[in-house]
Amino acid sequence: MQTSTLACALAIALLTAGCGPRTESPATDSAAASTAPATTSGASIAAGPAASPELLAQAKALFQPIPDKAPDPAGNPVTAEKIVLGKMLYFDGRLSSSGVISCNSCHNVGMGGIDGVPTSIGHGFQKGPRNAPTVYNAVFNVAQFWDGRAEDLKAQAKGPVQAGVEMNNTPETVETTLKSMPGYVLAFQAAFPQETSPVSFDNMAKAIEAFETTLITPGAPFDAFLKGDARALTADQQAGLKLFMDKGCASCHNGINLGGQAYFPFGVVHAPADAVRPAGDRGRFAVTKSQADEYVFRAAPLRNIAATAPYFHSGNVWKLQDAVTIMGDAQLGATLAPDEAEKIHLFLHALTAPIPKIDYPELPERADTTPLPADG
């Protein structure tokens, strides 16, 4: 779905123990990101020794770097106006019935695109059943959610607004709310100029999807490596990458996002502990009703994984090292030696990239006719 360009070497940063590189790469305003590349070239800082051409070739066959710009989603050409509107909607708590829960409440763009709790807390402080995945690079996933039940970001965005445990609203109230504020009416008109009645629930979802195409992080050391910078990974990370490929992690976690493309049983070889894979959540079974899909989940995308603890759909594992060991046991049956798991863990840190610069949007002021927040 994308062509990898051997473009400029990206600015990369040295990895220090226990903290991912989130440093000096130039950032772009997300509103402008549809036209401008999210990164510009910079001098590469060598992190490690030059990797062998074989390792690079093996990696290039399995993974692709994040492109500087995401492709337009099907049926939703991205424009600067749509991104501006989508960003407003993403940060606006008034899409929820309580008036306070926005997309950013659970997918905090300053914190890896997540909420950092085991399972999300939504309307009325209710706990949802699953951990919030990151919105960063979600545009590259083949389908959305842990079980892939939404086909794209447009379909996805309608879910949380209506979910009782998330934003607990109705499409009608959202439309009434947005139509009541002149600032939103103007922004919808600019984003959907051909339409006679542009303020709609569908267009809300399209605008949010357009904004989400800017939530991409192309500047990880691993991207620099895939683009040909043989020194972008430390020696340990190179060894971890080799293990990640040779042990079989990459048979499920591959492509641009190292995952997000296909579904697999969670527990191919050994069922994970009940706390990690709670019996009540049978994954894709709920979507397809097929026995074969019991405890089947989407291979989780691993981009920026070091920044998105806790792990798994249950959110019960806090340390990335433990997640690696659990995967080795559950999916491969090969108990990884501690030093192997540690090297894979260090490699996963090379998937952490600087986030795009996102200016907090100014949200339209309410009108007298704007529905009042409901209790909860």
Q: Give whole-number Cα distances, 72 to 2, 158, 210, 213, in Å.
A: 12, 19, 8, 8
Looking at the chain, how many residues does it have? 376
Q: Minimum distance from CB of 305 to ligand HEC (Å)?
A: 5
Choose which of 63, 140, 188, 264 interacts with ligand HEC (CB under 6 A): 264
- Please report whether residue 145 would count as binding ligand HEC according to CB under 6 A: yes
Positive or negative torsion for Cα 242, 255, 135, 273: negative
Q: Minimum distance from CB of 309 to ligand HEC (Å)?
A: 8
Nearer to ligand HEC by Cβ, of 64 and 331: the residue is: 331
DSSP state of 305: G
Helix axes 201-212 and 153-162, enclosed angle (nearest 10): 120
* φ/ψ of residue 81, rounded to 5: -65, -40
**Chain residues 76-135 in contact with ligand HEC, contact rule CB under 6 A:** 101, 103, 105-107, 120, 122, 128, 130, 132-133, 135
Nearer to ligand HEC by Cβ, of 45 and 88: the residue is: 88
Helices (H), 40-148: 53-62, 80-91, 103-106
Nearer to ligand HEC by Cβ, of 10 and 330: the residue is: 330
Choose which of 70, 241, 249, 353 interacts with ligand HEC (CB under 6 A): 249
For residue 120, what are its two tokens?
Answer: 């999300």
Q: Minimum distance from CB of 165 to ligand HEC (Å)?
A: 7
Strands (E), the chain: 263-265, 296-298
Nearer to ligand HEC by Cβ, of 305 and 350: the residue is: 305
Nearer to ligand HEC by Cβ, of 46 and 374: the residue is: 374
Q: By CB neighbour count within 10 A (0-12 exposed, 13-18 middle, 19+ buried), where does 53 fall? A: exposed
For residue 47, what are its two tokens?
Answer: 């992190």
Q: Which residues bind ligand HEC (CB under 6 A)?
A: 101, 103, 105-107, 120, 122, 128, 130, 132-133, 135, 138, 141, 144-146, 153, 156-157, 160-161, 166-167, 208, 247-249, 251-253, 264, 266, 268, 297, 299-302, 305, 308, 311-313, 323-324, 327-328, 331-332, 344
Catalytically annotated residues: 166
